[in-house]
Amino acid sequence: MLSATLSDYAYSNNYQIQWATFASWLNAGGLVFAGLALISALISYFRAQPRSIMLLIYPALWVLGFVNALIHARDAWGMMPIGFALSLVVTIFAGTAVWVGFSRFGHGGKQ
């Protein structure tokens, strides 16, 4: 997700279409891995460690990433203002998901 944002930034600076194509492919790859993370969060929720916040973050991340992929499927000139902003929002959501996933809720490192 971060690499798609950086590709959008590069495209906004020099308008070479290769950066828009890179961002589109990186969004598709990010959707695959976000889907795997969503499946992992569902399995974790039903097995041992329920973290309901993860079931809110991952679906929102995947839906925003899917909308971002649809925006990036447009023409290179048509995706630019909203595509870069949406890539930035998806990157923030992904960073939040990683931060919550690696944090521990409790005292002394115990859950």
Q: Residue 100's pLDDT is what?
A: 83
Note whether 86 and 71 are within 8 A (CB): yes
- Round the CA-based radius of gyration of the chain to a whole number and report it: 16
Backbone φ and ψ of 16, nearest 5°: -90, 125
Q: Look over the chain and give the mean of its residue pLDDT values, rounded to a whole number.
A: 87
pLDDT band for position 106 (cuts 50, 70, 90): low
CA atoms within 13 A on the CB side of 49: 10
pLDDT band for position 25 (cuts 50, 70, 90): very high
Q: Residue 31's pLDDT is what?
A: 94
Q: What's the pTM?
A: 0.84
16 DSSP 8-state letter: -
Q: Looking at the predicted structure, is the pLDDT value of residue 71 above 90?
A: yes
Token pair recorded at residue 26: 């990186």
Q: Residue 50's pLDDT is what?
A: 63
Mean pLDDT value of segment 3-14: 94
Range of weakest confidence among 40-54, 61-75, 88-102:
40-54
Mean pLDDT value of segment 4-11: 95
